């Protein structure tokens, strides 16, 4: 069985700014009012015969939305973003967060933005495609700790009404 959460109606939303470096029209800082749809497929189990508790899905999804809400999303693995003093390692995000300002270049444009205004993401792009995978991976990690019956998780990140990307991940319990 599959349970479905509608992002608009369940209030799974965030509003963020982003930039798609190198893209003709999206290569400028601009924003979206995103909403996130979630589908979970699995066996019905437990006292209540649930697939999953809606409450858990909403909580975990909203935690991710809150992290991204009202921030500029910066994909640190984008080849066109030149950070000052860049080193690809696990500590780079922490380092950027601890700086007062983050300085980077895209093509000939130079940016200096307060770090508190940004969220640094371990992604090559902040497209709907990459964000849907990002949400799915985090949700999978949370759910794997509390559920043993889930088969698939799908997350659709919508950049607006009628425009979204859905990523589906099969739950591989043996991997954890
Ligand atoms: Zn955009």
Domain positions in the chain: 2-175
Q: Is 129 a catalytic residue?
A: no
Q: How much is the pLDDT for 176?
A: 57
23, 70, 94, 170: the active-site residue? 70
Q: How much is the pLDDT for 116?
A: 97
CA of 100 to the centre of ligand 1 (A): 26
Report, in this order, helix, strand and coil percent for the chain, each rounded to 5. Answer: 25, 40, 35
> What is 2-175's CATH topology?
Tetrahydropterin Synthase; Chain A (3.30.479)
Q: Which of 92, 111, 108 is nearest to 18 (CA)?
A: 111
CA of 70 to the centre of ligand 1 (A): 14
Enumerate residues 6+ apart whose C-beta is below 8 A from 144.
150, 171, 173, 176
CA of 161 to the centre of ligand 1 (A): 13
Q: Is 26 a catalytic residue?
A: yes
The percent of residues above 90 in pLDDT, for the chain, comes to 90
Look over the chain and give the mean of its residue pLDDT values, rounded to a whole number. 94
Q: Is 159 a catalytic residue?
A: yes
């Amino acid at each position: 069985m599959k349970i479905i959460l509608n992002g608009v109606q369940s209030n799974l939303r965030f509003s963020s700014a982003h930039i798609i470096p190198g893209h003709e029209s999206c290569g400028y800082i601009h924003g979206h009012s995103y909403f996130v749809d979630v589908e979970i497929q699995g066996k019905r189990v437990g006292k209540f015969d649930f697939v999953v508790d809606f409450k858990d899905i909403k909580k975990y999804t909203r935690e991710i939305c809150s992290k991204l809400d009202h921030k500029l999303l910066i994909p640190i693995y984008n080849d066109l973003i030149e950070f000052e003093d860049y080193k690809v390692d696990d500590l780079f995000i922490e380092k950027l967060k601890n700086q007062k300002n983050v300085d980077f270049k895209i093509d000939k444009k130079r940016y200096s933005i307060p770090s508190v205004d940004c969220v640094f993401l371990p992604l090559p792009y902040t497209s709907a495609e990459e964000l849907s995978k990002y949400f799915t991976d985090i949700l999978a990690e949370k759910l794997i700790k509390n559920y043993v019956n889930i088969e698939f998780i799908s997350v659709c990140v919508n950049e607006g009404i009628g425009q979204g990307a859905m990523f589906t991940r099969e739950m591989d319990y043996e991997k954890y």
